[in-house]
């Protein structure tokens, strides 16, 4: 998992998967202003709502990668076992 993905998923799930500093900076970017640590903790649900779009982008990219890997694996397997 990349650092940016860990930050976004931390914001969306509420489970800290990164340094709090990085999470704090991401929250400030979402709100467009400076937030103290207490505000970041109090705004947990708002942060989740605002990070949903970024989190869904990560989910979509993972789905695409899995489909591509499965397609490649099946294609290679088929070619190996194909009788000519």
Contact at 8 Å (CB) between 5 and 58? yes
pLDDT(4) > 70: yes
Q: What is the pLDDT of residue 36?
A: 95
Given a cut of 90, whether residue 81 has pLDDT beyond it is no
Structural domain range at position 22 = 3-81
Question: How many domains, the chain?
Answer: 1
Whether 69 has a pLDDT exceeding 80, the answer reads no
Name which of 22, 78, 19, 16 is nearest 44 in CA terms.
16
For the cut 70, the answer to whether the pLDDT of residue 78 exceeds it is no
Whether the predicted pLDDT of 75 surpasses 90: no
Query: Tens digits of per-residue pLDDT, 16-64?
Result: 999 999 999 999 999 999 999 999 999 999 999 999 999 999 999 988 8
């Amino acid at each position: 998992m990349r650092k940016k993905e860990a930050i976004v998923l931390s914001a969306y799930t509420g489970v800290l998967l990164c340094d709090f500093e990085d999470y704090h900076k991401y929250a400030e970017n979402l709100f467009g202003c400076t937030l103290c640590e207490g505000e970041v903790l109090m705004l947990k649900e708002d942060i989740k709502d605002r990070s949903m779009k970024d989190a869904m982008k990560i989910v979509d990219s993972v789905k695409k990668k899995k489909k591509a890997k499965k397609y490649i694996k099946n294609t290679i397997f088929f070619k190996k076992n194909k009788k000519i």
